[in-house]
Amino acid sequence: MLEVKQVSKKYDGGRGVQKIDFSMQRGEIVGFLGPNGAGKTTTMRMITGYLYPTEGIITVDGLSVHDEARKARSKIGYLPEMPPLYPDLTVDSYLKFVAKLRGVPAREQKLRVAEMVSRLGLNGRERQSVRHLSKGYKQRLGLAQAIIHKPDLLVLDEPTSGLDPSQIIEIRSLIRELGENHTVLLSTHILQEVGALCDRVLIINRGELVMDGAPDEIGARMENRFAVTLEVGGERERIETVLGRWAEARGITAEIRTGPPEAGENPVTSLAIDGSEANSSAASTAAPDQDRVSEKGESIMSSDNTKISTIEKTHSENPESLALSNTQISGSVRALLTAGDQQDFRVELFRLLAEADLPILELHKENLTLEDVFLKLTSDPAASAAEDSTVADKPVSLNRSDGAASSETTDSPDANSGGERE
Ligand SMILES: Nc1ncnc2c1ncn2[C@@H]1O[C@H](COP(=O)(O)OP(=O)(O)OP(=O)(O)O)[C@@H](O)[C@H]1O
C-alpha cells in the first residue's frame, strides 16, 4: 500500500530526515513515535506530497506521490497537526468546499457531506460556524475533511494533541473505526496511544528510523536480560537465605522489597542481594533449607518456629514431585530477580522453591515496556553530545521556529488539496 524507500530530506539548516525506509500493508494501523524534532511531520508531509524529498521514492499503491501527484493524492487523506479549517464557514459549507476540492463528483457531494456528518458524529452542528466548534469537534471535522474523498491511506499527525481526556477517548475510538477500512499512519507523543490503537510502531529519532515492530514485541526484542518479579510465601529471613544462596551461585541479582505491595509503589526497593550480600546477611541467619523439607503431612517450621505450610510428598516414584496441602502462609516476600545473560531460570527457580517448601504466590516475567524502549532509543546522551557539537559548528540554526533555515520553497507546487501549506 505505502512504500517509503530510502527517503531523506535535508533542510538548508541541516537536520531533516535521513534514509527513512519502511512499507505499510493494507489495513495496518501504524504508530509513528518520536521526540520533538525527530522528523515525524517532515516524513508525513513527504508521504502526503506536501514536501519534496531530497532523495528517495514514496509510492502509494504503486503511484509516486511526486511524479503522479494527483492520482496518488486521491488515495491519501491527511490530517495535519493544524487542520486546514476555515473558521468563517459553517460545517456544512466547509465540507462541501473540501468535497469539491478533492474531486468528489458534483452529484455525490451533498450525500458525501451528510455521510461525513453522520460518520464523524457532527449531527446537529451542520449550520454551526467552524470558529465556534470545540477543539474535539474541530478534530472530528479535520478527520472528516481527511476522509471525504474515500482515501485508502490515512495520515494523521498527532490527532489527539491538545484534546481533553474525554475528547481523546472519542477521537481514538473514531480512529479505531476508521482503521477498519483504511490503512492508517498516525504520529503521536503519547505512548499509550500506540498500545491502544496500533498493530505496529515505528520509532524515529534524530531523523532516523530506529525501531519497527509490534508494540508488544519490541520490548522483548530489546531485552538484554531475563527478569521476573516474584512473590514467595513464607518467613522472610528464610526466603532471603534460599534466594540469596541460589542467586549467588547463579550470578543472578535478587532485589527484595521490604513491605507489602502498595498502590503506586515502586515494586522493587530496598535490599539487594547479590552474591556477596547473600553471604554476609541472609545466608548466615538460617540453617540449610533442605533440612526443612518435611515428609508426608508434616508441618514446615521457619527459623523462628512459625508454621509456614504443610507439605506432602506425592509419590515415591518421583521424590521431587511435591504438592502443597493445607497451606497456611505466615507472610510473603516480593523480589525482582534479574539474569544479565537472558537465560530463562523460571523452571530452576520453581524447583528450588518447591524443594524448600516456599510456595510461589506470583511469578511474572518482566518485559521492557514501550516506554522503556522509547527512552532507551531516544535518550542516548552520547548522541546528544555529538549532535550538540555538530549544531554548534553550524552557522545556521536548525530550528524551524526561527525561520532562518526554512527550505519550504522546495515544496510540492501542487496546492490544490485543501491541506496544510506554510
Ligand atoms: N522548514 C524547515 N526548515 C528547516 N528545518 C526544519 C523545517 N521543518 C523542520 N525542520 C527541522 O527538521 C527536524 C525534524 O522536524 P519535524 O517537524 O519533522 O519533527 P517532528 O518529529 O514532527 O517534531 P514535533 O514532534 O515537535 O512536531 C527538526 O530538527 C526541525 O527543526
- pLDDT tens per residue, range 59-96: 999 999 988 988 999 999 999 988 888 889 999 999 99
Tell me, yes or no, whether 422 lies in a domain.
Answer: no
Which ipTM did the prediction report? 0.97
Contact 176, 193 (CB under 8 A): no
Average pLDDT over every residue of 402-408: 33
pLDDT at 342: 76
Q: SS3 of 281, please?
A: helix
Beta strands in 214-295 (DSSP E): 226-233, 253-256, 272-273
pLDDT at 207: 93
250 and 379 share one domain: no
pLDDT at 348: 94
pLDDT tens per residue across span 158-171: 988 878 888 888 88
Tell me, yes or no, whether 254 lies in a domain.
Answer: yes
Give residue 171's domain range. 2-75+151-221+372-409
Rounded to 10°, the helix 91-101/135-147 angle is 30
376 and 294 share one domain: no
Q: How is residue 268 written as a grid cell?
A: 522493587
337 and 381 share one domain: no
Q: In the 3-class helix/strand/coil scheme, how is 329-346 assigned residue by residue?
A: CCCEEEEEEEECCCCCCH
Mean of the per-residue pLDDT values for the chain?
A: 76
Distance CA 284, CA 279 (A): 6
Tell me, yes or no, whether 199 lies in a domain.
Answer: yes
Distance CA 235, CA 163 (A): 50
Tell me, yes or no, whether 204 lies in a domain.
Answer: yes
User: What is the number of domains present in the chain?
Assistant: 2
**Nearest C-alpha neighbor of 155 from the set 180, 187, 125:** 187
164 and 301 share one domain: no
Q: Residue 291, Cβ neighbours under 10 Å: how many?
A: 7
246 and 347 share one domain: yes
Question: Does residue 112 surpass a pLDDT of 90?
Answer: yes
Tell me, yes or no, whether 85 lies in a domain.
Answer: no
**206 CA distance to ligand 1 middle (Å):** 10
325 and 265 share one domain: yes
- Ligand 1 nearest atom to the CA of residue 12, by list position: 4
pLDDT tens per residue across span 19-41: 999 999 998 999 999 988 899 99
Which of 40, 156, 185, 410 has most ligand 1 atoms within 8 Å of its beta carbon, as the pocket-test mutant? 40
pLDDT at 93: 95
171 and 213 share one domain: yes
Q: Report the b/e string of 269-289 with b at 16+ CB within 10 A.
A: eeeebbbebbeeebbeebeeb
**22 CA distance to ligand 1 middle (Å):** 20
pLDDT tens per residue across span 294-342: 333 333 333 333 333 333 333 333 433 334 444 566 788 999 998 888 7
**Nearest C-alpha neighbor of 253 from the set 243, 266, 263, 261:** 243
Check which CATH number belongs to the domain holding 171 and give it. Answer: 3.40.50.300
Tell me, yes or no, whether 123 lies in a domain.
Answer: no
Q: What is the pTM of this model?
A: 0.67
184 and 328 share one domain: no
Contact 187, 172 (CB under 8 A): no
387 and 298 share one domain: no
Tell me, yes or no, whether 88 lies in a domain.
Answer: no
